[in-house]
Chains A and B, each alone.
Chain A
Amino acid sequence: MKNKPAQDLEEKSIEQVFPKMNKRQFLINLAAVIGTSAAAQLACGNAFAVAMSYQAKTDSADKSGKVFSQYQMQVLADICAVVLPRTDTPSAAELDVHGFIDHQLFTCYDKKLQAQTQDIVEKIDRQSKAHFSKSFTTLAVEQQRQLLLALEAQGLGFTKVDNKGFKGLKSLLVFGYFTTEVGATQALSYQAVPGGFKGSISYDSVGKSYGALAYY
């Protein structure tokens, strides 16, 4: 059975076998140990992905991430909290969307987008210092909101390029929020198995947008 080595590895946990290394090195080493074909099989299954996957943490903002520095992570956490604040559902920061953004940028996007997103986080903090003489994380929430509104309006020294960078970050932030279990099932209406298609129902009978989609 060609799955066997993969299963053995899973039992051991991949991090135990290959501690701390970048993803490319990881794939190369994995192939060296169990053969290219089995490595591909394994990488296609979930073991590799799970080992590298993002699990929500409570302390993402207290340390540096894979893309962002510790300081940037704090700024990012506050951006998350301000863009999607706590209402009857948790805020994006409470769901560790900042941690997810760091993970997702590292895992699924290229260096250019990583740099672009770092730049806008840095710029937000710089403009905060320029206009309020305080770092973004020490601003009052309403001031933080005003600054981000100004960003979208291209005021307070923010440019069109900044706004584009911010829209990219925002997409990831919104995606990160509504694809958490809480975001998908509490903030939205979640139909895992709809049971069939009805073409016309009253909107009020649902009252929300859907959290489960055919394609993400």
Chain B
Amino acid sequence: MDQDLYINETNEEYDALVIGSGISGGWAAKEFCERGLKTLMIERGRIVEHQKDYIGEGKSVWQYPNRMKVDNLLVEEQYNVQKLCYAFHDGTKHFFGNDKDYPYTTEKGTGFSWIRANQLGGKSLLWHRQSYRFSDYDFNANKLDGHGNDWPIRYKDLQAWYSHVEEHAGISGNYDNLAQLPNSEFLPPFEWTKPEIDLKAKFTELFPDRPMIIGRTAHLTKPSKLHLSQGRVQCQARNECQKGCSFGAYFSTQSSTLPAAAKTGNLHIAANSVVHSLIYDEKTNRVKGVRVVDNDDLSTREYFAKVVFLCASTLGSTQIMLNSTSKKFPNGIANSSGVLGHYLMDHVYNAGASGRIEGYHQEFYSGRRPTGAYIPNFQFEPSKYKKNYKRGYALSGGASRSNWQNNGQLDGIGVDFKHQLTQAGDWYFGLNAQGEMLPRFDNQVSLHASKTDKWGIPQLHINCQWSDNERLMMLDAEQTAKYMLEKAGLKDVKSYTSIDNNSPGLAIHEVGTARMGKDPKTSVLNAYNQTHDIANLFVTDGSSFCSSAVVNPSLTFMALTVRAVDYAVKEMKAKRI
């Protein structure tokens, strides 16, 4: 990467500041740069360069000191929260935040697992890459059942922008033509295994309202010319994505949006720049720039621009806004509504079932598929809701053969046991629930009254809990998944709910806290992710969500961001910003 890309001190007034370099920040920077605007991307963490800095990639398990497990003292001292993430291991731990450096507090009797990825690329390096469009059922849900405020946009507002990001990012999937889950612009889908094909047919027959589709994922199954020109090649099916992928086969800032932005010559990056607060000019009612504390030496500096995009992650952006106070905005910038920090949501991933499939012992697969089976939400409108709770959930999973890792505890000593472990075992199929969490005013983040982090920024205080709605949903999802597997003929079906063992946060789909809305009295952002209060301030990450919906949110972060940039640039040209 061009060394001129990185800057530290500067007096330049940029056209646009983009705070954050993850999925949203990467897109914002690319779109601004390609429209000819001088753009500064501000990242609080260190620089991570594509390929060169994927230090966990390409090593075999025996080449890791503890065979991919993480030293227990290191975990205890630095990763007590991060260790809860499924993707946290010795090959990825350097992409997770050090909990010691990023303290936060939670309200007594509550918990929240805040997974951090504070480096260039953010969580775009670590994400699970599942990519789904929202449908109008999602945008209508709040309005129809009265939970949360009405989204100020509908599917038609985002449709073309979804296509725009999908063509560049590369989304594999099948044209399933489902009302509740609109098609994307697809690269070819990943293949099914034989037992999955037969189960899919069985489900269609038994549960016609619950089609099972192949998971849609941001992987290049067949790269287009555009993808090849980005220096990206076909997915090799290693499924070790979170270590970083030098093939550029999955979408990340590094593989996709950053090179496009850099190519324009309009991009600068200020890394190791922890945004303390926004600089607000009361006379003009504009944000002039940002105050930054150096990540390493704690020195301070400022950056200036005509327009500011907050893309610092849901809780990151909200923390910055809460910490940006002035006479006009004593409770956080652009917070005249008072809802900033409220309506925090995550997804609830706390139920499921799995069982054994008989037969298919001559069937096998080759490679490690980085996606699975997906049964989209089938309770997507009020008439389909269950009686005792609102909204719905999707089920995701897949089939595979058991192996030595699953079977190490079986009975057996000696030659036969060893032989058994070297062979693929029976087929198993599982389904896990991914449920919607209702927007609730009480689920809130605020700044701690006295505690600060090492950069002198007040710590975030999180007060977030599941409600009975999520609890009842998971109980139902457990029973439903179990019933479906048993009906389909699986054996030894086991099911679980774990909602009382897990605090919110672990789906890593935290959204809300600076929600959009038509009414400035009850929302922070308008239909273009622009703050109601300040024309040149936009927030385009997950904090802008009015509801969590059921699907994974990242594709919608992308679409909202590019649409907001398009709007902002037009407004700048029209001299309204």
Chain A contacts with B in 112-147, Cβ cutoff 8 A: 145
Q: Are B413 and A216 in contact (CB under 8 A)?
A: no
**Alpha-carbon distance A204/B418, docked complex (angstroms):** 19
Kindly identify, within residues 54 to 86 of chain B, every residue whose CB is under 8 Å from any CB belonging to chain A. Answer: 55, 60-62, 64-74, 77-78, 86
- Chain A residues whose C-beta falls within 8 Å of the C-beta of B409 in the assembled complex: 167, 170-171
1/0 contact string of A24-48 vs chain B (CB within 8 Å): 1001000000001100100111100
Given A179-B67, A194-B238, verify A202-B413 contact (CB < 8 Å): no
Docked Cα-Cα span, A145 to B70, in Å, equals: 33
Interface membership of A200, Cβ < 8 A: yes
- Bound-state Cα–Cα, A180 to B419, Å: 17
Quick one: which of A108, A170, A171, A201 has the most chain B CB within 10 A? Answer: A108
Q: Is the CB of A197 within 8 A of B404?
A: no
- A175-B405, A197-B367 known; A109-B361 Cβ under 8 A: no
Interface string of B169-196 (1 = CB under 8 A from A): 0000000000000000000001111101
Q: Point out the residue from A85, A108, A190 that lies within 8 Å of B69, measured CB to CB.
A: A108
Flag whether B441 is at the interface (Cβ < 8 A). Answer: no
Q: Is the pair B93, A193 in contact by a Cβ cutoff of 8 Å?
A: no
Chain A residues near B423 (CB, 8 Å)?
208-209
Judging by beta carbons under 8 Å apart, are A145 and B61 in contact?
A: no
Partner of A40, one of B101, B237, B238, B418: B101
Contact (Cβ within 8 A) B424 A87: no
Taking a contact as CB atoms under 8 Å apart, the answer to whether B71 and A23 are in contact is yes
Given contacts A108-B69, A203-B362, whether A196 and B408 have CB atoms under 8 Å apart is no
Question: Which chain B residues in 372-431 approach chain A with CB under 8 Å?
Answer: 401, 403-405, 407-409, 411-415, 417-419, 421-425
Taking the closest CB of chain A, its distance from the CB of B416, in whole angstroms, is 10
Contact B414 A196 (CB under 8 A): no
- Determine which of B70, B405, B417 lies in contact with A213 in the assembled complex, contact meaning CB atoms within 8 Å: B405
Task: Using CB atoms, name the residue of chain B closest to A146.
Answer: B413
Q: Are B413 and A210 closer than 8 Å at their CB atoms?
A: no
> Complex: how many Å from CA A53 to CA B62?
11
For B61, the closest partner residue in chain A by CB is: A179
Contact among A82, A84, A195, A215 with B86 in the assembled complex (CB-CB below 8 Å): A215
Q: Which residues of A contact B86 (CB under 8 A)?
A: 215
Q: Are A174 and B408 in contact (CB under 8 A)?
A: yes
Q: Is the CB of A209 within 8 A of B366?
A: no
Minimal beta-carbon separation of A116 from chain B (angstroms)? 14
Is there contact, CB below 8 Å, between A49 and B65? Answer: yes
What distance in Å separates the Cβ of B328 from its nearest Cβ neighbour in chain A?
37
Q: Are B72 and A52 in contact (CB under 8 A)?
A: no
Q: Roughly how many angstroms separate A215 CA and B421 CA in the complex, as a whole number? A: 17
Bound together, the chains give a CA A37 to CA B295 distance in angstroms of: 10
Chain A: minimal CB distance from B236 (Å): 5
Bitwise interface map of A from 44 to 62 toward B, beta carbon under 8 Å scored 1, else 0: 1110011011100000000
| Of the residues B190, B362, B404, contact of A188 by C-beta under 8 Å | B404
Given A197-B367, A197-B368, check contact A43 B78 (CB 8 Å): yes
Chain B interface main SS type: loop
B94, A45: Cβ atoms under 8 Å? yes
Can you name the residue of chain A whose Cβ is closest to the Cβ of B399?
A: A199
Is B240 located at the chain interface by the 8 A CB criterion?
A: yes
Cα distance, A112 to B86, chains bound together (Å): 24
- In the bound assembly, the distance between CA atoms of A50 and B65 in angstroms comes to 6
Nearest CB in chain A to that of B418: its residue: A84
Closest to A202 in B: B362
Contacting B at CB under 8 A, from A157-199, are 167, 170-171, 173-176, 178-181, 184, 187-188, 190-199
Partner of B191, one of A36, A85, A198: A198
Q: Which residue of A lies closest to B75 (CB)?
A: A108
Expressed in whole angstroms, the minimum distance between the Cβ of A127 and any Cβ of chain B is 15
| Highest count of chain B CB atoms <10 Å: which of A145, A192, A216 | A216
A174 close to B404 (CB less than 8 A): yes
* B364 and A202 within 8 A (CB): yes
Residue A206 interfacial (CB < 8 Å): yes
Q: Which residue of B lies closest to A191 (CB)?
A: B367
> Which among B90, B194, B364, B408 has the highest number of chain A CB atoms within 10 Å?
B364
Docked pose: A187 CA to B422 CA in angstroms: 6
> Is B89 touching A215 in the complex (CB atoms < 8 A)?
yes
A215 and B101 CA atoms in complex are apart in Å by 27
Shortest Cβ distance from A188 into B: residue: B422
Taking a contact as CB atoms under 8 Å apart, the answer to whether B361 and A194 are in contact is no
Residues of A within 8 A of B154 (CB): none
Which residues of A have CB within 8 Å of B236? 193-196
Residue of B at shortest CB range from A180? Answer: B62
Contacts of B240 in A (CB 8 A): 214
If A49-B90, A148-B413, A199-B193 touch, does A194 touch B237 (CB 8 Å cutoff)? yes
Interface status of A14 (Cβ within 8 A of chain B): no
Expressed in whole angstroms, the Cα–Cα distance for A148 and B411 within the complex equals: 10
Cβ–Cβ contact B61 & A53, under 8 A: no
Closest to A49 in B: B65
B314 near A: Cβ within 8 Å? Answer: no
In the bound complex, what is the Cα–Cα distance between A159 and B333 (angstroms)? Answer: 65
Can you list 27 residue pairs at the A/B interface with Cβ under 8 Å?
Answer: A2-B296, A40-B78, A40-B101, A43-B74, A43-B78, A44-B94, A49-B90, A85-B415, A104-B66, A171-B408, A175-B405, A184-B62, A192-B60, A194-B366, A196-B367, A197-B366, A197-B368, A198-B366, A198-B367, A199-B191, A202-B362, A203-B361, A204-B362, A206-B366, A209-B401, A209-B423, A212-B60
Q: A54-B65, A209-B421, A214-B238 are in contact. List 13 more A-B contacts (CB 8 A).
A: A43-B78, A52-B71, A84-B421, A107-B66, A152-B411, A152-B412, A174-B408, A190-B60, A197-B370, A198-B365, A204-B362, A205-B364, A209-B424
The 6 closest A-B pairs by CB, nearest first: A53-B65, A199-B191, A174-B408, A194-B367, A214-B239, A197-B367
